[in-house]
Amino acid sequence: MEKLLHSVYLDEEKCLGCTTCLRNCPTGAIRVRGGKATIIGSKCIDCGECIRICPHKAKLAKTDPLSKINDYKYKVAIPAPAIIGQFKTRHSMDRILSAIKSLGFDEVVEVAYGAEIVGRALKYEFHAKHYPKPLISSACPAVVKLIQVRFPELTKNICRLNSPMALTARLIRKRLREQTNIKNSDVGIFFITPCAAKATMVNNPSSTEEDLYANIDGAIAIKDVYNDISSFLNDGAKADTNYNSTPEAFSWALSGGESDYLKNKNVLHVDGIQNVINVLEEIECGKLDTIEFFEGLACIGGCVGGCLTVENNYVAKMYIQERAKNAKQTSILHMSEEYVKEVYNSGMMHIKERIVPRPAEPLDQDINKAIEKMQEIEVLESHLPGLDCGSCGAPGCRALAEDIVTGKAREIDCVFVLKDRVLELSKLTNELLQVGHPTGKTSE
Amino acid sequence: MSYELVFDVKRGDFDKAGEASRKIKHTLQQLGVSNRIIRKISIAGYEGEMNLAIHSLGGKIILAVGEKKLTLTIEDVGPGIPDIKLAMTEGFSTAGDEVRSMGFGAGMGLTNMVKNADAFEITSEINEGTKIVMNFFIQ
């Protein structure tokens, strides 16, 4: 299988080559080339901003169709906690889960179940390992990628606990292996996802290859199943599934949900990718040295703001808070601390691969050549208008100057430079036209 | 081959706080300097930038990039430091309440610079200004 590093892609027919996504990409990962937006893979963090912002709906996330579940004999849906914010609270959580099951699944297990365990294990991880402070949440894959690309030195701070999604899948496979005769390869686990970044995580085999019991087989967008779930709910179908999570656990869908598990610690939770970048800048220069735990979520409001959700993120937040207020007792409430410790110590909670820094390529491997290029960039930049209009296909004048020096663009890609050149040319043309007919004299 | 970046920092200009350190960081990344050194210089540079905004009447941050080392110079026009030894003590600060309420003035500025730089020099003249020169060696 081809290694899929990104799930954001372009519908070429719909893309007009306007510069909206270009100018709003938080990592400057987009260029308009040949009249179409293209993504620079090494810079894209799958945050989904371009999907949200594209006026022509040309940016899409690669997720799996529901029909993919038919490739497996035993189908399990693991919906993200954000799912329960998508529907009015008069639809009970049990009915929402039942509606998901009715899509063709044999079983539905909330990711909030895994979230409860990860949340409660967070305190052990906080004390057990020698992380530099602050410990940084690994829950949002877009933020983890952001750190790898733009804050490489902070990769050491990233918490090495698996996401609730990954843990939930592992626990399901473990249970099915121990308690049933279903072959592991017949089990298909599908994440019902609010965002593109999680879809990438699911579809990126490098993170799961080594451990067959960690596999998640697909990611289905919330918006793709929203309609079917709504119909089920509105048809008044009965609930045949019980939810099994706590308000704390399903509040992971909101910014601060994870942090709430670390009581008595100095936590900071930030949502919205630009805000996250700003605060990480402060952490990196040592300014926020009293913060012990940092939770950064790329989408406004947290996962409820994911680009594959349907309901407005503020409304979704309200629904989740209402549900939290009225939540009934569930068995998970009685989950013993011994059990949490047992799972924590089993090793299944920890990310096995190293979270490596992936800083942007320097201008040149040789520092002297890099300095030369930097000086060229500055000279070029001083000749550009500084409007950051994006018409050249780069997100700003500085970026264009960098692209020119690294051989990816030309100076005349700037419409203002082009205009000046045309003006020069027309002056010359004019001058030549004034010369008139031959006079036979050679003196000027 | 050497390269220089100069930033002006005005007194009390907290709006732009951190801008110089951010640009320094980005530039060094593009020049291929190691992340470890960039982190150290970001912390030291940020402290310097804050010192200029809080204590001086304005000054300059100059980054010089050479093949073997990076030099960060923080130079200001200002009151000068009467007792450098005392100023270098962890926790000592002359910052006013207003500045402290913004989360600065913990008395760690100079200490953090010393901790992060490979070589640190400070000179100060009363009623004239202060100059700090920090070197970071590239292996």
Alpha-carbon A113 to chain mean position = 22
* Better-predicted residue by pLDDT, A378 or B108: A378
The overall average pLDDT reported for chain A is: 91
Q: Rounded mean pLDDT of A139-147?
A: 94
Q: Which residue has the tokens 């926020």?
A: A288
Check pLDDT > 50 for residue A288.
Answer: yes
A363 touches chain B (CB under 8 A): yes
* Better-predicted residue by pLDDT, B67 or A91: A91
Beta pairing, strands B119-125 & B129-137: antiparallel
* Better-predicted residue by pLDDT, A101 or A202: A101
Residue A172 and residue A155: Cα distance in Å, rounded? 29
Nearest to A350 by CA among A142, A141, A124: A124
Helix (H) or strand (E) holding B43: helix B35-55
**Which pLDDT score, from 0 to 100, does residue A280 have?**
96
User: What are the structure tokens assigned to A203, written together?
Assistant: 């579809």
B3 touches chain A (CB under 8 A): yes
Kindly indicate whether the domain formed by B3-137 is annotated with CATH number 3.40.1180.10.
Answer: no
Q: Rounded mean pLDDT of A27-31?
A: 94
Chain A residue with minimum CA distance to B68: A367
Quote the percentage of chain A above a pLDDT of 90.
Answer: 76
Q: Which residue has the tokens 């805000």?
A: A275
Which residues, including other chains, have CB under 8 Å from residue B12's CB and lie 6 or more apart? Answer: B53, B54
Which residues, including other chains, have CB under 8 Å from residue A331's CB and lie 6 or more apart? Answer: A244
Quote the percentage of chain B above a pLDDT of 70.
Answer: 91
Cis before A205 (ω within 30): no
Residue A359's pLDDT band, with cuts at 50, 70 and 90, is: confident
Considering only the beta carbons, identify the residue of B21, B38, B67 that sits closest to A367: B67
CB–CB contact A374 B25 (8 Å):
no
Instruction: Parse chain B into domains and list their residue ranges.
Output: 3-137
> Is A344:A162 a contact under the CB 8 Å cutoff?
no
Q: Rounded mean pLDDT of A2-17?
A: 81
CB–CB contact A286 B32 (8 Å):
no
Check pLDDT > 90 for residue B137.
Answer: yes
Q: Rounded mean pLDDT of A169-190?
A: 93
A376 touches chain B (CB under 8 A): no
CB < 8 Å from B in window 182-241 of A:
none
Interface size A-B, in CB pairs within 8 Å, comes to 65
Beta pairing, strands A187-193 & A8-10: unpaired
Best of A285, A375, A405 to disrupt the B interface (most B CBs within 10 Å) is A285
Q: How close does chain B come to A393, measured CA to CA in Å?
A: 21
Q: What is the pLDDT of residues B66-90, one digit of tens each?
A: 888 999 999 988 888 888 888 777 7
**Which pLDDT score, from 0 to 100, does residue B99 have?**
66
Highest mean pLDDT among A91-105, B36-50, B112-126: A91-105
Residue B28 and residue B69: Cα distance in Å, rounded? 12
Q: How close does chain A come to B10, measured CA to CA in Å?
A: 19
User: What are the structure tokens assigned to A427, written together?
Assistant: 């002056």
Domains of chain A from N-terminus onward? 8-61 (3.30.70.20), 66-346 (3.40.50.1780), 367-431 (1.10.15.40)
**Which pLDDT score, from 0 to 100, does residue B101 have?**
64
Chain B residue with minimum CA distance to A285: B43
Q: Rounded mean pLDDT of A320-346?
A: 87
Which residues, including other chains, have CB under 8 Å from residue B108's CB and lie 6 or more apart? Answer: A289, B47, B90, B91
> Is A388:A397 a contact under the CB 8 Å cutoff?
yes
Q: What is the pLDDT of residues A386-399, one digit of tens each?
A: 999 999 999 999 99
B88 touches chain A (CB under 8 A): no
A-chain CB neighbours of B22 within 8 Å are 281
Exposure string for A209-218, b = 16+ CB within 10 A, e = fewer: eeeebbbbbb
CB–CB contact B32 A368 (8 Å):
no
Q: What is the CA radius of gyration of chain A?
A: 26
Q: What are phi and psi of B35, to 5 degrees?
A: -60, -35
3-class secondary-structure state, position A255: coil
**Which pLDDT score, from 0 to 100, does residue A2 have?**
38
Nearest to A36 by CA among A61, A54, A63, A62: A54
B22 touches chain A (CB under 8 A): yes
Chain B residue with minimum CA distance to A376: B3
A378 touches chain B (CB under 8 A): no
Q: What is the pLDDT of residues A223-237, one digit of tens each?
A: 999 999 999 999 888
**Which pLDDT score, from 0 to 100, does residue A20 have?**
94
Check pLDDT > 90 for residue B109.
Answer: no
